[in-house]
Structure 1
Amino acid sequence: MQIRLICLTKAFLCRHILHFDINLSSTAGEWEVSNNNKTWGSSIIVFFEDKNFQGGSYECSSDSPDLHSFFSRCNSIRVESGCWVLYERPSYAGYQYILTPGEYPDHQQWMGFNDSIRSCRSIKNVYGNSYKIRCYDRPDFAGHMAEWSEDCPLVHEAFKFHEFHSAVVMDGAWAFYELPNYRGRQYFLERKEYHNFTDWGATSPVVGSFRRITEF
């Protein structure tokens, strides 16, 4: 009898609850194991309580407005697939951290200010070649406007202004950074209108850099 495990991603090695259906084919003489909780191609992230992927872990594959019941702290993360935005507080509030696939052995690797992760969202619109954003130096899409479709590590060199008071994401998903060269506080922007900088969660209109969010 041949044993065949249908598990095409490393995520199945994680310790949290996985529900399997086991079907025996008498003609083929094979066991087929499938996971009902996942859809192939879905976004998967694994949170670890301690650094270097140690301690308790929790695997997540969907938006979660409140993670406090699954872990008390987060000091390392493995993004198996997809792109994610993590939030310091429940209900998608507080500091934001944007992660692409890869391993993050401590919270400094995602520029975390602390070890608190209380909610998360899977980022859509990270595939394809179409990216476009319009930035304005006044609220409600007034004043000077600049349209951009590439990464911008130094806003003060590329623009006549460095305060973004409103923005319109035409295509793709974007990340604003408080400081040049993609440092400092991060802000996630998806395809919609932002009438004021507070709409993307900022307390100041200053943007030092921004870039496209892509999985690859």
Structure 2
Amino acid sequence: MSTVLGADGVTRSCSVNPAVTQPIGGQRLGELRVRRPTQQFTYHYLTPTPLEIHFLQLKDDGHSLPTTFHNNITFYEENHFQGRCYECSTDCADLHSYFSRCNSARVESGAWVLYEKPNYKGYQYILSPGEYTDNQQWMGFNDSVKSCRAIKNVYGNVWKLRLYERPDFGGQMVEWAEDCPSVYEAFKFREVYSCMVTHGAWAFYELPNYRGHQYFLERREYPRHTDWSAATAAVGSFRRITEF
């Protein structure tokens, strides 16, 4: 049981049960109970690994309450978690003052996008919780990591996107809700010129079987492939981001 102090100064309490109901898609459905002086609310979340409640923002009207989970990643200059390191728990547009290169990383919680250059530019690498003893484990093209973002607001059990073979949502459209190791085998085209992500977060890959350049897509519209920072419209595979 944890105590939470709301913006109005009224003390609430919350308790977290990480596995109170049935597994869903390999993940366990956990339960979060929040108690106000006169009301109690129950929320559910999917958790493949233990999640830490970072804070709760309680609305004065007592309606649905968003939860924010703690994100944490540690960067190391050398392979196998050696050399200078830097622990990060929030988005950072410029990491160059904390380390000069990155050859290994530990993602303790949350999912992250690493960028080759400052201000979220350059090559992208999408990391789920785990240990990465060298940068080849995240398919790094070099040892440069100069900015990072925590992937937010994607907890849930629904993923859906629409792929279009022409810019501005023209041409053939395909709606999909699962991982796809080969776009050509599934849809008979190799290029995606625009996309709508309606649910969840996704990773695009330039080549089949989740290889090549990576691109992070969140819930929004992408009228052109350049909107997800791709130099070309080639999409060989894509997958849901499900591990947090």
TM-score class, shorter-chain normalisation, is 0.7 to 0.9
Q: Which residue of 2 aligns with 1:108?
A: 136
Corresponding residue to 1:141 among 169, 172, 175: 169
Given candidates 39, 51, 54, the residue that maps to 1:39 is 54
1:146-199 deviation digits (Å, cap 9, x = unpaired): 000000001111003221000000000000000100000000000000010001
Match 1:174 to one of 202, 205, 230 = 202
Which one of the candidate residues 159, 169, 179 is aligned to 1:131? Answer: 159
Q: Which residue of 2 aligns with 1:150?
A: 178
1:86, distance to aligned residue in structure 2 (A):
0.4
Correspondence for 1:76: 104
CA separation in 2, counterparts of 1:212 and 1:206?
A: 18
The equivalences for 1:47-58 within 5 A come to: 47-58=75-86
The letter for the 2-side match of 1:52 is: H
Matched letter for residue 64 of structure 1: C
3-state SS, counterpart of residue 54 of structure 2: coil
The percentage of counterpart residues that share the same residue type is 68
Q: TM-score, structure 1 length as denominator?
A: 0.81
Tell me the equivalent position of 2:19: none
TM-score (norm 2): 0.72
Moved more, 169-178 or 156-165: 156-165
In 1, distance between residues paired with 2:208 and 2:135?
20
**Counterpart amino acid of residue 151 in structure 1:** D
- The one-letter amino acid of 2:158's match is S
Residue segments in structure 2 that go unaligned for 5+ positions in a row: 1-52, 56-68
| Contact 1:164–1:207, Cα closer than 8 Å, also in 2 | yes
State the Cα distance separating 1:71 from its structure 2 match.
0.5
- The 8 Å contact of residues 132 and 170 in structure 1, kept in 2 or not, is answered as yes
Distance 2:189 2:84 in 1: 46
The structural deviation recorded for 1:126 is 3.4
1:160 aligned onto 2:188? yes
- Partner residue in 1 for 2:88: 60
What amino acid is the match of 2:118? P
1:181 and 1:163 mapped to 2: Cα distance? 15
Cα displacement (A) at 1:60: 0.3
CA contact (8 A) 1:126 1:215 kept: no
CA offset digits 1:46-100 (Å, max 9, x no partner): 0001000001110000000000011000000000000000000000000000000
Q: CA deviation at 1:125?
A: 3.5
Structure 1: give runs of 5+ residues left out of the alignment.
1-37
